[in-house]
Amino acid sequence: MARRRIIRPVHVSVITPADSRRLLKLRAELESARRLFQRWLARLKRAGNAVAKQQARIARLEKQLRLLEEC
């Protein structure tokens, strides 16, 4: 058996000049936040790569020490 759907009247929104200014301000704020996030994300990626390189270097040095100590 098919379910009945409730049909509600369509809500028509009227944008006032104050709402328009607020929308512009919010869009500008969103764009600024996105740019800031992208900068931090780039820094985080660089830091992650630096940590990975240091970890690999330490592992390589520990392995060389272990091999030399075994001989």
Q: Is residue 64 part of a domain?
A: yes
Q: Is residue 3 part of a domain?
A: no
Total number of domains in the chain: 1
DSSP one-letter string for 7-53: P-PPPPP---HHHHHHHHHHHHHHHHHHHHHHHHHHHHHHHHHHHHH
Q: Is residue 46 part of a domain?
A: yes
The pTM of this model reads 0.60
Range of the domain at 43: 19-71
| Token output for 19 | 């709402």
Q: Is residue 44 part of a domain?
A: yes
- The beta strand positions in 1-71, using DSSP E, are none
The pLDDT tens digits along the chain (71 residues) read 678 888 888 887 888 888 899 999 999 999 999 999 999 999 999 999 999 999 999 999 999 999 999 97
